[in-house]
Amino acid sequence: MFKRLVTAAVTAVLIAGLGACSQGGDTHDEVSNHALDAGQDDGSATGQPAPATTATGDPSVVGVRDQVRHRAAQTTRATRPRMTKKCTTTTHRVKHTTSTGSGTKRRSRSWYSTDHSTSCKKVRTGTRAYRRVVRPERWCVRLDDVGGDPKKDDVWFQVTPATYHSAVGADERAHLEFTPTGSGC
């Protein structure tokens, strides 16, 4: 029973991963002002080999270091509603009664008390300013001879900050291998 559950879970993860890899989208390369296809292409249509993979199975790229670029996050001033908690207290009278005795000697006694209840809700009280991120921070590396193909020059890849810093420290025209987080810059 346990083996079946594990097999089903692994199959579900693989199907989800393959489905995520097959989805592509268009991005905009702001350096050359051209639209780029950010979809995954294994090169099978052009007869080129599929990209290399790391030990964990992630697709990696290999090439010669050309340039590095850090693009700071771009933000703009925006406003959002300011929500505050408003509470109201309500009171109502409650009648209490006790009885003593029985038959004709039965006596009732009544008294009143006041119960307090509080209800709170969030209400809008003006607006507040904040910084909205228009473009997230990016670290990019440009490679030549991507995958050993001398025709694939000047290709930008988005990378992690750690990969960016190691590329900055590498010599000009050094061979680099890394797993990109996105294409274009």
Percent of the chain with pLDDT over 70: 69
Same domain, 127 and 82: yes
Model confidence at 3: pLDDT above 80: no
Phi then psi dihedrals of residue 71, to 5 deg: -110, 115
Lowest mean pLDDT among 12-16, 35-39, 68-72, 166-170: 35-39
Q: In the prediction, which pLDDT does 12 show?
A: 61
Alpha-carbon gap, residue 52 to 37, rounded angstroms: 20
Which tops the pLDDT comparison, 168 or 45?
Answer: 168
Q: Which of 111, 131, 151 is the last residue of a domain?
A: 131
Predicted confidence (pLDDT) per residue in 25-67, tens digit: 333 333 333 333 333 344 333 334 444 444 444 578 898 888 8
Query: Which structural domain, as residue segments, surrounds residue 51?
Result: 25-72+137-183
Same domain, 94 and 67: no
Q: In the prediction, which pLDDT does 111 show?
A: 93
Residue 8 domain-assigned (yes or no): no
**Average pLDDT, whole number, for the chain?**
77
Model confidence at 163: pLDDT above 60: yes
* 143, burial (CB in 10 Å: exposed 0-12, middle 13-18, buried 19+): buried
Alpha-carbon gap, residue 48 to 150, rounded angstroms: 13
**Local confidence band at 104 (pLDDT 50, 70, 90 cut-offs):** confident
Q: Which of 102, 131, 160 is the last residue of a domain?
A: 131
Same domain, 86 and 174: no
Lowest mean pLDDT among 58-72, 123-137, 156-170: 58-72
**Local confidence band at 24 (pLDDT 50, 70, 90 cut-offs):** very low
Percent of the chain with pLDDT over 90: 39
Alpha-carbon gap, residue 31 to 184, rounded angstroms: 9
Alpha-carbon gap, residue 141 to 160, rounded angstroms: 10
